[in-house]
Amino acid sequence: MSAPPALVCRGLIKRYGDVVAVNGLDLEVRRGECFGLLGPNGAGKTTTVEILEGLTRADAGDVEVLGERWTGDGIALRRRLGIQLQETRFPDKLRVGEVIALFRSFYPRGLDPEEALRRVSLQEKAGAFVRGLSGGQKQRLSLACALAGDPEVLFLDEPSTGLDPASRREIWDIVEDLKARGRTILLTTHYMEEAARLCDRVAIVDRGRLLSLGTPA
């Protein structure tokens, strides 16, 4: 019997007052693929991801993550996921090594902090203060924190937004390494170039609806 898809949502609906952020969305992410959610700002990408992550409750529809539904506190399921938010803020007075050690402590098992930093090429910054990092380095630290629990599924919400071209390519290289390691990745972006380079399949969404689904050209 084949394993169920990593992520499934059917008929997903989420409203904020009179605004329908997600409007009947159907998606299925296969295990081991990098799946892209592509669309403009306000398309419903982040809301969809937050529902899949168990951070936001849908108004209607079904959600399955690694064959399970979000019930109770969801701690056991959450430990199997890695989440990089669109903007993660770390205390400026902490050192890089302290940040990754803190995140690693949230999981009963996972990567050694040194290995997590190595995978994002930040091992030489372990003793540096967060306040001294560039924007690209902070984004890589955010990725390292998402990897701390050695997750089965990785959520990356606009991982390269706001970065210069060189830093963006560094993020892309890291994601490609994760793909080679067989990780399931759900990536949101509004960069077509990013989706074409990284994703096995791409869903284009706007106003909470699925417009098209397929392999990037």
> Looking up tokens 């108004």, which residue turns up?
59
Can you give the pLDDT at residue 196?
93
Which H, E and C letters describe 47-79, residue by residue? HHHHHHCCCCCCCEEEEEECCECCCCCCHHHHC
Calculate the alpha carbon distances from 97 to 100, 113, 118, 165 in Å. 5, 7, 11, 26
* Residue-level pLDDT at 1: 57
Residue with tokens 């990089």: 84
- Give pLDDT, residue 201: 97
Note the helical H segments in the chain.
45-52, 75-78, 96-104, 113-119, 135-147, 165-180, 192-198
For residue 169, which of 121, 211, 204 has the smallest C-alpha distance?
121
pLDDT value for 163: 87
Which residues make Cβ contacts (< 8 Å) with residue 182, sequence separation at least 6? 32
**Angle (nearest 5°) at CA 103 between 171 and 91:** 80
CA 35 to chain centre: 10
pLDDT at 217: 67
Nearest Cα residue to 175 out of 95, 109, 119, 107: 119
> Where in the chain are the domains?
33-50+71-214
Q: What is the pLDDT of residue 41?
A: 86
- May I ask the CATH class of domain 33-50+71-214? alpha beta
pTM beyond 0.85, yes or no: yes
Tens-of-pLDDT digits for all 217 residues of the chain?
567 899 999 999 999 999 999 999 999 999 999 999 999 888 999 999 999 999 999 999 999 999 999 988 889 999 999 999 877 889 999 999 999 999 999 999 999 999 999 999 999 999 999 999 998 999 999 999 999 999 999 999 988 888 889 989 999 999 999 999 999 999 999 889 999 999 999 999 999 999 999 998 6
Q: CB neighbours (10 Å) of residue 189?
A: 22
pLDDT of residue 89: 86
